[in-house]
Amino acid sequence: MAAYEGIIADLIEELGRLPGVGPKSAQRIAFHILAADPADVRRLAHVLTEVKAKVRFCEICGNVSEDAQCRICRDPRRDPAMLCVVEEAKDVVAIERTREFRGRYHVLGGAINPIDGVGPDDLRIRELMTRLADGAIQEVIIATDPNVEGEATATYLARMLRPMGLTISRLASGLPVGGDLEYADEITLGRAFEGRRSIDV
Amino acid sequence: MAAYEGIIADLIEELGRLPGVGPKSAQRIAFHILAADPADVRRLAHVLTEVKAKVRFCEICGNVSEDAQCRICRDPRRDPAMLCVVEEAKDVVAIERTREFRGRYHVLGGAINPIDGVGPDDLRIRELMTRLADGAIQEVIIATDPNVEGEATATYLARMLRPMGLTISRLASGLPVGGDLEYADEITLGRAFEGRRSIDV
């Protein structure tokens, strides 16, 4: 006999397909939903449907947007000379939270990953080259993830962009702020040495 | 500026209300949904709505059911003389997985918890007494959680049931199978001593 059957089993199965939701979590969420206010559950079901209907990708940068162009691309106060290249839309949000960057973004839609069969043509690199063609953008900050795929993508992009005479940079790697040196992995620690800076006293 | 706005913010907020889904998970799930096949998302939204419409509680035992009576209460092969009392419907599933118990269940709908204002009258104890009235049930196994609230509920039930001349038992507490003795907390280890059994050689 299966542990669950019918619609409850269906719900647990659907929930279990979500990233980071294991069988135990799916069961906990399902029982939460069984006990929840029907209006709350209707709202969740509605917003799930709505998000697929309303959200599309910005025709300029590839960020998620409810309009043809996202609000960052539409914002005239953003510096048109600076472009930050990221893998995913959620990276835009992470960088926006720092309030360190006032330029615009380009979302690649992933990173080069030969094992998963993702090559440069599967990313929005052609769109990036088109954006750079008119010369308005003068600095490109490559903010792909600090892992093997992100580094490979950064190197690939840097080589493609070098002939264009732009300023190209890569986000610094090093020890996370607030972290303990002794718990840093050896690669991070190695990067922190490589990228060490002189202290002005 | 908020990190997200519009329907994506709504989705992240709704997902973040689910148990065990923190802000980071809610964001990850939301972006998964944005990228997912629309048919998959429709199915999830549909099953959420359906589960609220279809699932009710068994009129006999209080377990979740798509019919007036759950399939365990309807099953004539289940032993009508044995009743296992649990806090929640998910406890029924956990016990069914063991295949150790062939009687029927009674779901209390929680445990006595004065801090949260849950008293005996908030649980399905009156329904339990009604079920026991005709004398068909001869043994009651109290399978509330092995925590303060579960123990309090078990003691309360045991006192109420004692005059009825039933066999009343409580699930054993002790070391989890496959666990390391040195990692057991002192209360569990204490229980394991209390409940020690002679070894037949």
Q: Is B35 on the interface with A (CB under 8 A)?
A: no
Helix extents (H) in chain A: 6-16, 23-35, 38-54, 71-74, 89-98, 125-132, 148-161, 186-194
> Given a cut of 90, is residue A126 above it in pLDDT?
yes
Q: Which two tokens stand for residue B45?
A: 């939204």
DSSP, collapsed to helix, strand or coil, labels residue A75 as: coil
> What pLDDT, on a 0 to 100 scale, did the predictor assign at position B50?
93
Distance to chain B for A152, nearest Cα, Å: 23
**DSSP assignment string, B126-156:** HHHHHHHTTS---EEEE---SSHHHHHHHHH
Cβ within 8 Å of B, A 3-22: 3-8, 10-11, 14-15, 17-21
- One-letter amino acid identity for A72? I
Closest residue in chain B to residue A42, using alpha carbons only = B49
Distance to chain B for A144, nearest Cα, Å: 17
What is the pTM for the complete model shown? Answer: 0.72
Closest CA to B26 of A198, A65, A7, A51: A51
Q: Which two tokens stand for residue A166?
A: 């732009």
pLDDT in tens, A27-49: 999 999 998 999 999 999 999 99
Taking the C-alpha atoms of residue B78 and residue B102, their distance in angstroms, rounded to an integer, is 5
In contact, B54 and A7? CB cutoff 8 Å: yes
Q: What topology is assigned to A76-170 in CATH?
A: Dna Topoisomerase Vi A Subunit; Chain: A, domain 2 (3.40.1360)
Provide mean pLDDT across the span A130-159.
92
A7/B54 touch (CB, cutoff 8 Å), yes or no: yes
B42/A49 touch (CB, cutoff 8 Å), yes or no: yes
In contact, B104 and B72? CB cutoff 8 Å: yes
In contact, B195 and B174? CB cutoff 8 Å: yes
Taking the C-alpha atoms of residue B53 and residue B64, their distance in angstroms, rounded to an integer, is 13
Cβ within 8 Å of B, A 79-108: 88-90, 93, 96-97
Q: Is A54 on the interface with B (CB under 8 A)?
A: yes
Cβ-Cβ contacts under 8 Å, B90 against chain A: 27-28, 31
Taking the C-alpha atoms of residue A186 and residue A181, their distance in angstroms, rounded to an integer, is 10
Is the ipTM above a cut-off of 0.85? no
Taking the C-alpha atoms of residue A13 and residue A74, their distance in angstroms, rounded to an integer, is 40
Mutation to test the A interface, candidates B44, B87, B92, most A Cβ within 10 Å = B44
Buried b (16+ CB within 10 A) or exposed e, A56-90: ebbebbbbbbeeeebebbeeeebeeebbbbbbbbb
B93/A18 touch (CB, cutoff 8 Å), yes or no: no
Q: Per residue of chain B (201 residues), what is the pLDDT tens digit?
A: 456 778 999 999 999 999 999 988 999 999 999 989 999 999 999 999 999 999 999 999 999 999 999 999 999 999 999 999 999 998 898 888 888 889 999 999 999 999 999 999 999 999 999 999 999 999 999 998 888 899 899 999 999 999 998 999 888 888 787 777 777 787 887 777 777 776 665
Which CA distances in Å does B159 have to A131, B104, B122, B153, B191?
77, 21, 18, 10, 21
In contact, B103 and B83? CB cutoff 8 Å: yes
> What pLDDT, on a 0 to 100 scale, did the predictor assign at position A85?
95
Percent helix, strand and coil across chain A, each rounded to 5?
50, 10, 40
CATH number of A1-38: 1.10.8.420
Q: Which two tokens stand for residue A15?
A: 């929930």
Provide mean pLDDT across the span A176-187.
76
B19/A29 touch (CB, cutoff 8 Å), yes or no: yes
Confidence of residue A1 (pLDDT cuts 50, 70, 90): very low
**DSSP assignment string, B74-110:** H-TTS-TTEEEEESSHHHHHHHHHHT---SEEEE-SS
Domain ranges of chain B: 1-38, 76-170
Cβ-Cβ contacts under 8 Å, A4 against chain B: 93
Using CB atoms, pick whichever of B3, B29, B88 lies closest to residue A19.
Answer: B29
B14/A93 touch (CB, cutoff 8 Å), yes or no: no
A7/B89 touch (CB, cutoff 8 Å), yes or no: no
Closest CA to B78 of B64, B91, B61, B65: B61
Distance to chain B for A115, nearest Cα, Å: 20
Cβ within 8 Å of A, B 115-174: none
